[in-house]
Amino acid sequence: MSPPVAVIAPLLVVLFTAILTAVAHRSLRVQRALSVLGGVAYLGAVAYLFARVKAEGTLVYQLADWRAPYGVTIVADDLSVFMLAFGSFVGVAALAFAVVYVDEVGQRVSFHPLYHFMLVGVTGSFLTGDIFNLFVWFEVMLMSSYVLVVFYSGAEHTRAALQYVVLNLVGSALMLVAIGGLYATVGTLNMADMARRLADPAAFGITTLAPVLGLSVVLFVVFALKAGIVPFHWWVPAAYRAAPAPVSAALAGVVKKVGIYAIIRLYFTVFAPADLGELALPGFSGSGPLAYFGPVLLVMAIASILLGGVAAVNRDDIDDLLAYSSVGQVGFIVLPLALAAFGIVAGVDAPAPYGDVAGVSGLAVLGVTAALVYSLNHGLAKSALFLASGAIYDATGTSRLDRLGGLAERAPVLSGGFFVAAIGLVGIPPLIGFFGKFLVFDAAAVAGSELALGGALAGAILTITYVTRAWNRGFWGTPTEVVDATRTNRTQVAVVVVLAIAVVGVGVAFDPVLEAAIEGAAAALDTQGYVDAVNPDTTTSATSGGGHA
Amino acid sequence: MAVNLATLLAVVGLPFLAAALTPFVYRFLGERTAYYAAAVALACLGLVASLFGTHGAVSVEWIPTLDVSLRFYVDGLSLLIATLASGVGVLILTYSGAYMHDEPGQAKYYAALLAFMGSMLGVAFAADMIVLFLFWELTSLSSYVLIGHYQRAGPSMYASRKSMLITVAGGLFMLAGFLVLHAVSAEALGSATWALFGDGGILMPENAAAMQTALADQGLLVPVLALVGIGAAAKSAQVPLHIWLPNAMEAPTPVSAFLHSATMVKAGVYLVGRLRPLLGGEEWTAAFVALGLLTMTVAAILAVAATDIKELLAYSTASHLGLIVAGFGFTSFYGAETGAFHIVNHALFKAALFLVAGIVAHEAGTRALNELGGLREDLPITAGIAVIAGLGMAGVPPFNGFYSKEFLFKAAWEYATVHEGVAFLVPVVAVFGSIFTFLYSIRFVAMFFGDKPDALGHVHSPPAIMLGPPALLATLAAVVGIGGVTATFGVHLEPLETFVASVIQATGGELGGGAHAVAASGAAGAAAAGSEFTYHLPTSRESLPAATMSAITIVLGAAAYTEYDALHARLDELISGPLTANYYYDGLTDGANPFSDRVRNAVQTRRLRTYATWTLAAFVALTLGAYAAAEVTLALPVGELLPVTPPKLAVWLVLALAGVGAVMVVRANSHVAGVLTLSILGFMVAIFYILSKAPDLALTQLVVETLVLVIFLLVLDRLPAFYGNVTRSTALRDGVLSVAVGATVAITVLLATATRPDSIASYFVRTAYPEGGGSNIVNIILVDYRAFDTMGEIAVVSMAALSIITLIALRERGETQ
């Protein structure tokens, strides 16, 4: 059987685009054309991969034909392609915006290659089946985002970037420590192989699994840092504010979700089967790694929801508000993951369509589904909002609410796009945001967790508070001087409108989206299915087997 | 007769379609868009009318995976709300044609009104909890847009935000209640459902008993009551969530008449009526009778304190909604009669009064009560309308509101006689509240009588198009009133009575008869025995207590009216500060801003030191917690370093030097000294690699270390030499933290290196030469087994180069962006 090139195609397309746009920097027109064409081709490759995975199930690509677990394995399953699908859409939408937003000198110097490299990192992270390879893609993603955050090179940008770089360098170091530790303890880097070894340690000469929990926590810190979950959210507000609008849109809409994906992939697919014995810490019960992560995630999620929501209420700058809102919204994504962990540990079932999906707790399927749908919602809505903010900045020269006012009169279409995305955050049906909130609430109700339900309710009310305040101050009221002189860029507005339509459309036609999300959740929870698909060599110590086919 | 799905889809879909087309229509029709919108409403009214006589549920798939469908259900209650939404809609949109003359933002106005009407029709017919919530929130959203119609005005913005916060947040509580009902339905009915009606719907008569048992067994009845009750109370402006309604009067008056008196605010009482057959019981009565009577009384008192005619009507609306809620709160048949009949009566007289208020404001130019008087000379027809509707609102016989209020008194009296004791407070409070209702109603009507203040000047007659709708509403109200009189003599207003009977049935009629009563309530078609509805003037002995209560209300009201101005002034003065719910709302929303700043400033200090401290502390706590939870056993590898033989001595030496270097870094008093001592550490690591027989690693380390040192020194030369002063406590904190981080990492390394699992490394050892063609395994890993990683790292290095170019090229451009 020929290796399924479809798996590696999105990565290659975007990698080549990155290189080509770097080479073509002499002509802005050629560079832009290559960049946009590459983006479109990337979307096509993702769509093709999505269709292939839906038709044929999990697809695996062994690089250089080295059999897993010895080489690097790329795996496209229902979870990966779900993330990849909306990530690529948002990423390319923001790119289209950037073409008419970032100043021409900046575009020629390095914007396009860096942006595409960021997409390379994102794509690689979603697709890789190897934890060290994941580290590499994180580095690619980080390196490009460092520069994109500092892109404007002003004092504030440099300050934000410095903090972003330092905290993420700490993260990179910790990630390396954790991966090295896991390799030393479990003896492999391939995720499927690791899952298999954790489920049956004795067969692989692993004497104790005890260190695995701590090592997985070290790794978790990195993902939490990436996703901006409290108390690892520090860099978020300044970095989102400093970066050019399309970059903030991509960071909040896509890059943040890589952290979420990594948490789902590693903790629910790979680490979950490890039997650690009953946890010996007060306040924790159960035996797997998820018994530890459940309560931790719950506390972090609620802290994020409350801190992000409260801090967003009185922000004077739209980008600042959106950044704090991102901290709060990521709490909504993590909250159902905490409940999913609880579902697995306590074996809680949920009614159809979540029960009997992956042969695991229905609550776990519901929780992961909720996290995926909420991620999709946040990806679309928040990027639309950041881009709208960019378009406003471009048109008025400011994104400060106290200098704006009456935008709805002077820029009705752009304001309409902002409004739709904003009520998407609030969760008004039938927008996709409603279904995100709804699934989170449902997970809390099924789990019987008043704490989670109360936190989610409080967060939702805070969201209404800051969204209505921003709308009243910036979009209603008498047009200010800067707003009176507004001239919006049509292409920028068009991109915002496309994303706003997506926020509505994905909600109205929710059924296929939900199906894909449930399949993604099922894939995340089906460790055996993942291991079988990758099918790592089982003859580690014997003399035969493996190798080049 | 079965329900036609196409009709239902059309009636709900048409307004949304029309709303979407409004901007284009406005381009052609301009202000006449009002009549386009009125025509759409009329079409909807026609479609609703065609549904009369049908009953049952239909559905069309929406999200099959979740079992959420566009389920619709037609019965008396849904037809009532739908008729109000479309019927009042026709009148309001027609009236708007004149009222909104020369007003800004008309396209948006009509689009929002049409969308609202569609949402309200959706609420009325929805038979699926998710779909109900969908339309519910859409009514809140269109209300937000309409209240903020005068978007430049501060009070509009305040009001719209307030309504959005309270009604949407209330909706979320309702959603939580629905989720609980959904979960309970799994247990009670075998499979979880979102359906209210139709196959397996939780409100279907055959399922009610099982649902009630399951709710009671799981102790979820009270939580569901509370959650759904909050949602209904927020929407129907029940105390203390009523505060958004008076502010909502910032909207153009037709909007106030339509959304904020006749229809949207009825959504809450609709929900209460809908769930009454399922949740009705002692807890239900305690909750909703208390809530309803409290609202009725408090809001009536607030209406007396009001100084603006629209404010008066707004409080009055809340008060009457309280009356309806209290009615549905009783489990008796009288209770259902109160709720059902008063919805009709209130819609008729209150919409008429709002339109009257609109005419007065429009023609007299003021809405202040004390500036208005003697208007009947200039506005005779309007005065007639106001009298009919106002006396209905006051509950004076034989006007329409009198009859439904009689039912409330009957229900209250019956409740008191059955329960005795404290229960007698219920009729007392009902009468007490009604006195205030009487008072403000008369005060409203009084602006047409007495002397005309000099400041008022000449008041124009309103155009016919503004007079028609309220006149029609008042006529209908009068017909209802006269129907009661004729009924006393045996001539009933049959269609109305039959219709109200069907509404009563839909809300459960007499509850408490167990499964039987519930089953009867769902039965289609003709009224079951004992559930017929008639209304007439009190003639029998049973109606004596209620009639007495009405008499007391009117007599005391009339007596108190002579002191109205004093009472008004006293109340106006009294009701302020912590006694009002607004005090808390404003306190919370205003307080949220500085609180937000405080939290933000406390957390985001903009200092890397704070961020790093917390990041590292959280890392240490989480990681050590995990090691403790998993009960790791830590073995220090001292055995490998003892006894000290010459080769081990070298390791000791390297360790000691590295330790010294580490201490020196901390104590260094300049950048250069710091970097130099830090490099001691780096070079020790390189030597350690040599001792461990890893020459290529050592080589790499030496190159990196040398380069870093050189670059550091070059850069530091351009930086100020100043090292910030560190306080003792900061130094201590940093010291503790660095030791903790170091310890955590050291523990991690010790734990990881303590075991030797079967590793994939053996495979590389075995195959590097035969398969990879090289004898340096590390190289083969880098360029063959894991060449993909290497490619990624090459990308990182190229980007690093690109970064430097970017930073240099763009460094001077920072200020321009």
Tens of pLDDT, residue by residue over B775-797, are 888 889 999 999 999 999 999 99
Assess B137–A contact: CB distance below 8 Å, yes or no.
yes
Name the helix (H) or strand (E) containing B426.
helix B425-446
pLDDT bin (cut points 50, 70, 90) of residue B718 is: confident
> Average pLDDT in the B175-184 region?
92
Are the C-beta atoms of B171 and B140 separated by less than 8 Å?
A: yes
How far is residue B395's CA from residue B701's CA, in Å, rounded to a whole number? 93
Q: Domain boundary residue among B539, B562, B585? A: B562
Q: Is residue B469 part of a domain?
A: yes
How far is residue B619's CA from residue B642's CA, in Å, rounded to a whole number? 33
Are the C-beta atoms of A368 and A353 separated by less than 8 Å?
A: no
ipTM of the complex: 0.95
- For the cut 70, the answer to whether the pLDDT of residue B527 exceeds it is no
> Average pLDDT in the B711-728 region?
81
pLDDT for A104: 87
Q: B430 and B330, same structural domain? A: yes
Assess B630–A contact: CB distance below 8 Å, yes or no.
yes
Q: Is residue B209 part of a domain?
A: no
Are the C-beta atoms of A509 and A54 separated by less than 8 Å?
A: no
Minimal CA separation from B670 to chain A, in Å: 21
> Average pLDDT in the B466-493 region?
93
Angle between helices A191-199 and A527-534 (to 10 degrees): 130
How far is residue A461's CA from residue A328's CA, in Å, rounded to a whole number? 12
Give start and end residues of each alpha helix (H) in A57-111. 78-99, 104-106
> B263-302: per-residue pLDDT in tens?
999 999 999 999 999 998 889 999 999 999 999 999 999 9
Query: Token digits for A299?
Result: 């506390």
pLDDT bin (cut points 50, 70, 90) of residue A2 is: low
Q: Is residue B96 part of a domain?
A: no
Q: Which residues contact B731 (CB under 8 A, 6 or more apart)?
A: none
Alpha-carbon distances, residue B629 vs A137, A337, B152, B302 (angstroms): 31, 21, 59, 59
> Average pLDDT in the A143-158 region?
89
> B153-172: per-residue pLDDT in tens?
889 999 999 999 999 999 99
Average pLDDT, chain B: 90
> Average pLDDT in the B738-745 region?
95
- Say which of B747, B757, B763 has its CB closest to residue A70: B763
Are the C-beta atoms of B231 and B171 separated by less than 8 Å?
A: yes
pLDDT for B723: 65
> Average pLDDT in the B630-656 region?
83
* Residue B466, SS3 per DSSP: helix
Q: B785 and B734, same structural domain? A: no
Chain A residues whose CB is inside 8 A of the B151 CB are 406, 408-409, 476-477
How far is residue B286's CA from residue B267's CA, in Å, rounded to a whole number? 21
How far is residue A511's CA from residue A517's CA, in Å, rounded to a whole number? 10
Chain A residues whose CB is inside 8 A of the B181 CB are none
Handedness of CA A452, A457, A462, A463 (dihedral sign): positive
pLDDT bin (cut points 50, 70, 90) of residue B365 is: confident
Count of domains for chain B: 3
Q: Are strands A59-62 and A73-76 parallel, antiparallel or unpaired?
A: antiparallel
How far is residue B589's CA from residue B161's CA, in Å, rounded to a whole number? 10
A177–B165 CB contact, under 8 Å: no
Return the residue in A110, A186, A296, A324 with the most chain B beta carbons within 10 A, the one to mutate for interface testing: A110
**How many other C-beta atoms are found inside a 10 Å radius of the C-beta of residue B721?**
10
Q: Is residue B181 part of a domain?
A: no
CA-angle at B128, arms to B125 and B134, nearest 5°: 80
Minimal CA separation from B308 to chain A, in Å: 24
- For the cut 70, the answer to whether the pLDDT of residue A546 exceeds it is no
> B67-106: per-residue pLDDT in tens?
999 999 999 999 999 999 999 999 999 999 999 988 888 9
- Say which of B66, B787, B817 has its CB closest to residue A152: B817
Minimal CA separation from B61 to chain A, in Å: 10
> A53-75: per-residue pLDDT in tens?
999 999 999 998 888 899 999 99
Are the C-beta atoms of B222 and B262 separated by less than 8 Å?
A: no
pLDDT bin (cut points 50, 70, 90) of residue A470 is: very high
Q: B635 and B558, same structural domain? A: no
* Residue B508, SS3 per DSSP: coil
How far is residue B139's CA from residue B119's CA, in Å, rounded to a whole number? 6
pLDDT for B8: 94
Q: Which residues contact B526 (CB under 8 A, 6 or more apart)?
A: none
Are the C-beta atoms of A189 and A179 separated by less than 8 Å?
A: yes
**CA A163 to chain CA mean position, Å:** 21
> A518-528: per-residue pLDDT in tens?
999 999 999 99
Q: B551 and B436, same structural domain? A: yes
Amino acid at A270: V
Assess B455–A contact: CB distance below 8 Å, yes or no.
no
- For the cut 90, the answer to whether the pLDDT of residue A232 exceeds it is yes
> B387-432: per-residue pLDDT in tens?
999 999 999 989 999 999 999 999 999 999 999 888 999 999 999 9
Lowest-confidence segment of B143-147, B577-581, B743-747 by average pLDDT: B577-581
**CA B200 to chain CA mean position, Å:** 28
- For the cut 90, the answer to whether the pLDDT of residue B643 exceeds it is no
Q: Domain boundary residue among B708, B728, B755? A: B755
How far is residue B461's CA from residue B377's CA, in Å, rounded to a whole number? 10
Chain B residue with CA closest to A19: the answer is B795
- Say which of B604, B615, B757 has its CB closest to residue A185: B757
Closest CA to B469 of B34, B90, B118: B90
Chain B residues whose CB is inside 8 A of the A158 CB are 814
* Residue B539, SS3 per DSSP: coil
Are the C-beta atoms of A92 and A42 separated by less than 8 Å?
A: yes
Q: Is residue B672 part of a domain?
A: yes
Name the helix (H) or strand (E) containing B71.
strand B68-74
Count of helices and strands (H, E) across chain B: 32, 2
Return the residue in B244, B806, B811 with the most chain A beta carbons within 10 A, the one to mutate for interface testing: B806
Q: Which residues contact B210 (CB under 8 A, 6 or more apart)?
A: B188, B189
Instruction: Name residues 532-591 of chain B within 8 A of A (Cβ).
Output: 589
What are the start-end ranges of the E strands in A296-360? none
Q: B793 and B663, same structural domain? A: no
Q: Which residues contact B42 (CB under 8 A, 6 or more apart)?
A: B86, B90
- Say which of A109, A280, A437 has its CB closest to residue B629: A280
How far is residue A81's CA from residue A51's CA, in Å, rounded to a whole number? 9
pLDDT for B396: 93
A221–B597 CB contact, under 8 Å: no
**CA quadruple B204, B207, B208, B210: dihedral, nearest 10:** -170
Return the residue in B189, B748, B765, B815 with the most chain A beta carbons within 10 A, the one to mutate for interface testing: B748
> Average pLDDT in the B26-45 region?
94
Q: B532 and B650, same structural domain? A: no
Amino acid at B692: S
A468–B164 CB contact, under 8 Å: yes
- For the cut 70, the answer to whether the pLDDT of residue B743 exceeds it is yes
> B293-347: per-residue pLDDT in tens?
999 999 999 999 999 999 999 999 999 999 999 999 999 999 999 999 999 999 9
How far is residue B784's CA from residue B774's CA, in Å, rounded to a whole number? 10
β-bridge mates for residue B128, sequence order: B195
Q: B796 and B709, same structural domain? A: no
A426–B168 CB contact, under 8 Å: yes
Alpha-carbon distances, residue B578 vs B246, B247, B248, B574 (angstroms): 18, 18, 22, 11
Chain A residues whose CB is inside 8 A of the B168 CB are 426, 428, 464
Chain B residues whose CB is inside 8 A of the A516 CB are none
pLDDT for B531: 60
- For the cut 50, the answer to whether the pLDDT of residue B109 exceeds it is yes
Query: Token digits for B236?
Result: 């129907």
Q: Is residue B601 part of a domain?
A: no
Q: B398 and B308, same structural domain? A: yes
Query: Token digits for B456?
Result: 């008022």
Q: Is residue B528 part of a domain?
A: yes
pLDDT bin (cut points 50, 70, 90) of residue B523 is: very low
Minimal CA separation from A132 to chain B, in Å: 8
Name the helix (H) or strand (E) containing B713.
helix B695-716
Assess B604–A contact: CB distance below 8 Å, yes or no.
yes
pLDDT for B812: 67
Closest CA to B56 of B514, B675, B523, B618: B523
Closest CA to A330 of A250, A461, A236: A236
How far is residue B377's CA from residue B761's CA, in Å, rounded to a whole number? 102
Lowest-confidence segment of A58-62, A541-545, B146-150, B759-763 by average pLDDT: A541-545
pLDDT for A247: 96
> B189-225: per-residue pLDDT in tens?
888 899 999 888 899 988 888 999 999 999 999 999 9
Q: B669 and B556, same structural domain? A: no
Query: Token digits for A531?
Result: 């291991």
Burial of A385 (0-12, 13-18, 19+ CB in 10 A): buried
Q: B644 and B528, same structural domain? A: no
Q: Which residues contact B115 (CB under 8 A, 6 or more apart)?
A: B15, B16, B19, B138, B142
**How many other C-beta atoms are found inside a 10 Å radius of the C-beta of residue B106?**
20
Q: Identify the domain containing residue B490 by its residue range.
A: 281-562
> Average pLDDT in the A468-494 region?
92
Are the C-beta atoms of B4 and B48 separated by less than 8 Å?
A: no
